Amino acid sequence: MQDYFIWDGSPVLVELGPFSLPFDLSIPGLVLALIVYYAAVFQLGKPSQKGSKSRKRKPTDTPAATLNGWQRAGIAAGAFGLGQLLFMASDAGTISQIGPIALRWYGLLFATSFLLGYYLGSKTFEHAGKPQQQPETLFLYLMAGTVLGARLGHVFFYDFDYYIRNLNEIFYFWQGGLASHGAVAGVLLAIYAFTRKYPDSGFLWTADRIAIPFAIGGAFVRIGNFFNSEILGSPTDVSWAVIFAREDMVPRHPAMLYESFSYLIIFILLIVVYRYFRNNPPVGVLTGIFMAGVFLARFVIEFAKERQPGFDETLSFLSMGQLLSIPLIAVGIWLLVRADWASGQSARLQSGQKQTGTSQ
């Protein structure tokens, strides 16, 4: 019998706790505190309009712009105290201890992908001369859009029958279940909200700036899936097959590593194209490469994946992931076809001439 690589490692990197709290914390009180905090920051942080009633708010003006760290800390403390006092005598849910806290490889890699993505995305905004405030705002929008979209995508596309009977578990993120196609929908909504706030950054222009971070982020997340022994491939006897001992002793395609490697190649391609056009590629090109490349890879690799239980098993030839990938591949190709490559090439040449003139 051929020797296969056996993966039986723990998905947990380190575990701490549990830690008992000195007093119970009211869960509704924490929710109220969060709402009060953001409402207060938004109201108190508005730019003053005294003596200038006709002054229009600029796109760069944001709530909390006039509040320093100590002031925001004071607002947070006051909101926390108010929330706990109001629900002190309530029978609503409380938290008496924290933990045990388990730092998982998946969570570490997921967080790393966001931090690295923020750094790379900030650089692309910096190259375009945008204020630092814009990538910071976009980062927050994308975090919410990605996580919520990926979770709801899994709920509606892959396991709707279960969650329609267990509505309370829809937002149990810690139990796993995120869908990349749902993440795309969440990201698109996040970009739309961002461009409504900053109309000087167009929708496709902004999408281009996050294509690079999301490609390398996808590579990290799929490695996290390997540590979790999830997104398993179908049984095979190829020499590089992996036995995921936490699931069974069957040699399988390491489908999640196939995806990770594909996303890494797409990331490198995006960097090459971005640099080729002197950090200013034609609008829509990076998004087109990302969508066509990522979901074409996803479509092909799906043939080496094991079908997910539930609705996915009822499909005959193509899986749900493949069916959802087809329109996204088409959109990516359409963006590449409609891109104004000539203007991008002209801008690249002009940028090169300016740099040559400066060096002389």
Q: What is the pLDDT along the chain (360 residues), one digit of tens a residue?
A: 578 999 998 888 888 878 888 888 888 888 888 888 888 877 775 555 544 444 454 544 444 456 777 888 899 999 999 888 888 777 667 788 777 777 889 889 988 998 999 999 999 999 999 998 899 899 989 988 888 888 888 888 777 777 878 777 777 665 667 777 788 889 999 999 999 999 999 999 999 999 999 999 999 999 999 999 988 999 999 999 999 999 999 999 999 999 999 999 999 999 999 999 999 999 999 999 999 999 999 999 999 998 766 555 666 678 888 998 999 999 999 999 999 887 777 777 776 666 656 554
CA–CA separation, 103 and 100 (whole Å): 10
Which pLDDT score is estimated for 275? 95
Residue 77 inside a domain? The answer is no
Name beta bridge partners: 233: 305
Note whether 184 and 327 are within 8 A (CB): no
Give me the phi and psi of 96, to 5 degrees please: -105, -20
Which pLDDT score is estimated for 86? 86
Which pLDDT score is estimated for 205? 96
Residue 197 inside a domain? The answer is yes
Note whether 233 and 5 are within 8 A (CB): no
| Count of all residues that appear for the chain in the document | 360
Which pLDDT score is estimated for 52? 46
Three-state secondary structure call for residue 317: coil
Residue 11 inside a domain? The answer is no
Residue 75 inside a domain? The answer is no
**pTM for the full model?**
0.76
> How many structural domains does the chain have?
1
Helical (H) or strand (E) element with 22: strand 19-26
- Give every CB contact of residue 147 below 8 A, 6+ residues apart in sequence: 173, 178, 186
Residue 99 inside a domain? The answer is no
Which pLDDT score is estimated for 173? 64
Domain range for residue 241?
106-307+315-344
Residue 15 inside a domain? The answer is no
Residue 87 inside a domain? The answer is no
Which pLDDT score is estimated for 1? 52
Residue 73 inside a domain? The answer is no
Which pLDDT score is estimated for 61? 47
